[in-house]
Amino acid sequence: MKLVLAFALLAGMAWAAPASAAPPEPGPLAVRVIEQAVLPRYEALAAATARQAEDWARACADGDSGAETESLKADYQAAADAWAGVEFVTTGPIGESLRADRIFFGPDRRNYVTKALSELASRARDADLTADAMRSASVAGQGFPALERVLYEPGDAPSAGQCRIGSAIARNLAGIADDIVREWRAADGPLEKLRRGEGDRLHFADPQHAAARLVTDLAGGVQRMVDLKLLPALGSSADAAKPKSAEGWRSGRSARALAATVASLGDMAKIFAASAPPDIAKADEKAFDAARAAVAKLPADLGEAAADPKRRKTLEAAVAALKAAQADVAKNLAPALGLPLGFNALDGD
C-alpha cells in the first residue's frame, strides 16, 4: 500500500508541468521501446535460460550434478542477470499466467520458497518432475529464488533429487521465457497490433495505453529498486538493518542485480527521452547516469554493508540518486511525452 501511495503522488506530479512541445505519437514510441529495449532483453533471457536448461540436463545425465556445480552457478548468474534487465516490465505477455511470479517469487517474507522446495523434493524422490508438475507447483518453487537455493544451499538432499529439482526449474524458466518471446512476436500478437495502430485485448486498450504502461514500468522499475531491494536491507538505522533482506544474498547477487536493472532502465529511458525536447532528454540522461554511478559504488555484500554505519552511506546515496531519477521521469519526461503514469507496475506490492 505504501508503494502504491508513493507512486500516486508521483503520478500527480506527472501533470504538474505541461510540456511545451507537442508530444510524439504514442504508438510508434511504444513500438520503438518494445523493439529496442523490451523484446531484445526477453530474447536474452530466453537464450540464457535455454543454455542453463541444456547444461542442467547434461550435468545431471548420470543423476549427480556435483562435478558441474561451478558451471551451473555461472549459468545461473548469467540467466539471473538477463532477468534483472527486464524484471521491471509488466506490460505484455509477462502479465499472463503469473509469469513474473513464477520466474521470480519475491520478496519472500514467509519462507514460501523453502516450503515449495520441500514439496518438490517429495515429488522428486522417485521420478523426474514433468512440465505439468512444475506448472501445478507453487509459484515460489518455479523460478530463480528456488534455483538459487538448490545451487547455493544444497543441504543434505540426495544428489539425484537435487538434479531432478534443478533440472525441472531450469526447464520451467526456459519454457516461460520462450513463451513470452513467442507471444510478443506472434503474427497477431501485441507488437504487431501496435505496428498497425491497434490495441490488444489482453495487454493495452490502444497505443496510448501501451506507451503509458511502458513509461509506468520505467518509473515503477526505479521505485521497486528503492522500496523492495534497498530499503528493506537498510532498515531505519545500522542497528535495524536486515542483511538477509537483500535480494540474492545467497548467491552474492544483491548489488550485481541492481546494476543490471539500473543499466536497463537507463537504456529504456534514453529511448523515451529521444522523443522529448532536448532539455528534457538531457536532464533525464543526467539523472539516470547519476543513478547508475551510485549503484556501481554499492558493495557486493550489500546486506552486510547496510549494518555498517560507515558503509551504509553508499546504499543511502544510491537510494537518493534512484529517487531523483524516478522523480525526473514523473515530473519531466512523462509529461513531455503526454503520457500519464498509472499504478499497474506496483499494484500488489
pLDDT at 196: 98
Asked whether residue 172 falls in the same domain as residue 106, the answer is yes
Structural domain includes residue 60: yes
CB-count burial class (<10 Å; 0-12, 13-18, 19+) for 127? exposed
Contact 208, 267 (CB under 8 A): no
Contacts of 60 (CB under 8 A, 6+ apart): 163, 164, 166, 167
Distances (CA, A) of 31 to 27, 144, 238, 252: 6, 29, 45, 35
pLDDT band at 2 (very low <50, low <70, confident <90, very high): very low
Asked whether residue 72 falls in the same domain as residue 29, the answer is no
Asked whether residue 139 falls in the same domain as residue 29, the answer is no
Structural domain includes residue 199: no
pLDDT digits (tens, 9 = 90+) for 316-331: 999 999 999 999 999 9
> What mean pLDDT is predicted for residues 64-73?
85
Residue that terminates a domain, selected from 194, 217, 249: 194
Q: Which secondary-structure segment (H or E) carries 200?
A: none
pLDDT digits (tens, 9 = 90+) for 180-203: 999 999 999 999 999 999 999 999
> What mean pLDDT is predicted for residues 127-137?
90
CA dist., res. 318 & res. 71, Å (int): 32
pLDDT digits (tens, 9 = 90+) for 75-89: 999 999 999 999 999
Asked whether residue 212 falls in the same domain as residue 313, the answer is yes
DSSP 128: P
CATH code where residue 152 lies: 1.20.1420.20
**Nearest residue to 142 (alpha-carbon basis) of 101, 81, 85:** 101
Asked whether residue 89 falls in the same domain as residue 165, the answer is yes
Number of domains forming the structure of the chain: 2
pLDDT digits (tens, 9 = 90+) for 242-287: 999 999 999 999 999 999 999 999 999 999 999 999 999 999 999 9
pLDDT band at 16 (very low <50, low <70, confident <90, very high): very low
pLDDT at 344: 45
Structural domain includes residue 347: no
Asked whether residue 13 falls in the same domain as residue 45, the answer is no
Contacts of 19 (CB under 8 A, 6+ apart): 276, 277, 280, 335, 336, 337, 338
Q: Which domain holds residue 106?
A: 41-194
Structural domain includes residue 328: yes
Asked whether residue 29 falls in the same domain as residue 93, the answer is no
Asked whether residue 52 falls in the same domain as residue 186, the answer is yes
Asked whether residue 238 falls in the same domain as residue 312, the answer is yes
Structural domain includes residue 155: yes
Asked whether residue 223 falls in the same domain as residue 289, the answer is yes
Confidence (pTM): 0.92
DSSP 139: G
Residue that terminates a domain, selected from 159, 194, 229: 194
Residue 9 has pLDDT above 50, yes or no: no
